[in-house]
Amino acid sequence: MGRKRLSPARVAMLAVFGVLLALALVGPMLWGDRAAAVDLERLGEGASWAHPFGTDDLGRDMLARVLVATRLSLVLALLTAGLGCGLGLLLGLLPTVLGPRLGKLAGSAIGLLLALPGLLLALLVATITGVGATGAVVGLAVAIAPAFARLTQTLAAQVAGSEYVAAARMTGISLPRLMLRHVLPNIAPALVLQVAMAIGGALLALSALSFLGLGVQEPQYDWGALLNAGLDRIYVTPAAALGPGIAIIVAGVAFNVTGDALAGALAGETIRPARRSGRGRSRSAAASSAVPASGPSAAGSDAVLQVDGLSVTFEGEGGTLTPVRDVSFSVAAGERVGIVGESGSGKSLTALAIADLIEPPGTVQAERLALHGRDPRELPERERRRLLVTSLAMVFQDPLSSLNPVLRIERQVGEAAQAHLGATRGQARVRAVEQLRELRIPGAARRMRQHPHELSGGMRQRVTIAMGLTTRPSLIVADEPTTALDVTVQRQVLRVLRRVNAEHGTAVVLISHDISVISAFCERVLVMYAGRVVEELAADRMRVDAAHPYTRALLAATPTLDADLDRPLATIPGRQPALDAVPGGCAFAPRCAHASDRCRERLPLLETLGEGRRVACWHPQGAALPVREQEMKR
């Protein structure tokens, strides 16, 4: 895709902006002497060919003074906007950096500053620091900061909650690097536009303060001071006020248009076409063996993942909500385990808890939550991150939102290798290319130079898988990786996961609400409902051994090729209980045709019915029913 053409008006204003910068650089050198020359014979003259904007009270040429004042006017405006926006940027990032509690205090402080009138705040600070250019700059900078801080806070909060930031956190990169690489680039377009507008606004405000006598003082002068002097004689020589007035307006518009153009470029309005490069291929031979594979070996190990008594709670004003309750399961090396259930059953939160991606006000409690026998919660921060990155890979639902839109594929796939394997940028690139080729991505070296929006949906999802496999983890947790894809691409992605599982012995936990996908891909299935595991059984025996009424209802609601087309598709009446209204007994009882008073009053525990089979039900269906009824009578 070529560059998008700029409109003629925008080109014209960009040209004006360039002229202003040139005047600021050379104006004092070219017209400084003329602007300072006193001519007592031409005091207060009107416009003429010799003096287009007339002369002032000392006979000095007003056009020359306007041109010379360009430097001071622009420098002061840039300083004001730079100080104000810099302070606002720091304040705006504090709520994201400090966490929820301290961040809430920082957000309240920003709100308090916003409540103060900007002009009064600027005048107060200018009065305290003293009349003059310094006081005007500091005062206006303080007045600009709160609005810029609130914008930064809002944008940073949106980006910090995105899936690609969560994926970056999974790589274990430091907080400053996370902010510089993943947060700031994605909020830069809006910030750049705001900075440009702040420069234009600062230019007008500084001119206003100089006009009021609170800004630049003699012998210095800016456009505001010249405007003040010209307005004294506006009825005699109006051209004296016209010159600085035009300069202020044109400069303000030029800054706004320039900021809009820069923001558009940063947001991808001008996209460079991808270029084919052979450099990555030429470096491959030199660096292919420089970074050894890392991470725990899958072969011969015990359980890759062990989860016992996992619960996730959220504290709110209305009380405590527990969307995941007492979940226990394990995953062996090379095993494919599926977690299935309706939306809201706690599947994704279980995955996020395993990956240590639950943020406050959410909390995770578990009797045991171990990767290769090591509990990340008991390790120092650096070692904890390394264990998570080298043992676990997360694949999220939407590949487009899982990838940083402003970074090239090369940076995103190779980031974990640089952060945890000590790879150089060139070595990380080589490993990334190899990873893309392994996942059957055509033109892997060329894809490295592309952005996520230039790839298809299936290719983006394979890139997210490649990101996770860079450190050779022993477990992949795929949270509905095919939901946003069509069936053809869905099959390709599942084939990639199966190949990774077969070739590397990587265990896979596949989360989905589609029970047919789970049964076709997985070896073992966990069925979740209302935050609990209600059944566990072998995937190839689901339609035969399913004992929980909820599992059987899910299977009945899934069409098959031999289904009777004349019969309506089965549905499950009702819906899952709200988090603040979970019943004390079985949560599925209100929707279950087999429910009894015992089901409504007592919570069934997850108990073993046979090898590889567990169910939490007072009335399990099928062959397991007699066994369960005998246990109830004891």
Q: How do residues 78-122 score in pLDDT, each as one tens digit?
A: 899 999 999 999 998 888 877 777 878 888 888 888 887 777 777
Kindly state whether residue 575 falls inside one of the protein's structural domains: yes
**Residues 313, 278: Cα–Cα separation, whole Å:** 51
Contact 195, 87 (CB under 8 A): no
Evaluate the omega torsion of the peptide bond into residue 361 and state whether it is cis, within 30 degrees of 0. yes
Binning pLDDT at 50, 70 and 90, where does residue 631 land?
A: very low
**Residue that is last in its domain, among 266, 296, 321:** 266
Assigned token pair, 438: 């392994």
Kindly state whether residue 630 falls inside one of the protein's structural domains: yes
What is the percent of the chain where pLDDT is above 90?
Answer: 17
What's the CATH code of the domain at 241?
1.10.3720.10
Kindly state whether residue 255 falls inside one of the protein's structural domains: yes
Contact 333, 299 (CB under 8 A): yes
**Residue that is last in its domain, among 216, 245, 266:** 266
Q: Answer yes or no: is pLDDT of 634 > 90.
A: no
Kindly state whether residue 249 falls inside one of the protein's structural domains: yes
Region of 612 on the Ramachandran plot (φ > 0 left; ψ -120 to 50 alpha; else beta) = left
Domain that holds residue 249: 9-266
Binning pLDDT at 50, 70 and 90, where does residue 510 land?
A: very high
Quote the distance between the C-alpha of residue 355 and its chain's center.
17
Kindly state whether residue 138 falls inside one of the protein's structural domains: yes
Kindly state whether residue 506 falls inside one of the protein's structural domains: no
Predicted structure pTM score? 0.65
Burial tier of 484 (Cβ tally within 10 Å: 0-12, 13-18, 19+): middle
Q: Answer yes or no: is pLDDT of 596 > 70.
A: yes
**Residue that is last in its domain, among 266, 295, 328:** 266
Name the DSSP letter for residue 534: E
Q: Answer yes or no: is pLDDT of 2 > 60.
A: no
**Residues 441, 459: Cα–Cα separation, whole Å:** 7
Binning pLDDT at 50, 70 and 90, where does residue 445 land?
A: confident
Total structural domains in the chain? 2
Kindly state whether residue 434 falls inside one of the protein's structural domains: no
Choose between 529 and 28: higher pLDDT. 529
Binning pLDDT at 50, 70 and 90, where does residue 9 land?
A: low
pLDDT of residue 624: 45
Kindly state whether residue 587 falls inside one of the protein's structural domains: yes
Q: What is the mean pLDDT of the chain?
A: 80
Binning pLDDT at 50, 70 and 90, where does residue 7 land?
A: low
Binning pLDDT at 50, 70 and 90, where does residue 391 land?
A: confident
Quote the distance between the C-alpha of residue 397 and its chain's center.
15
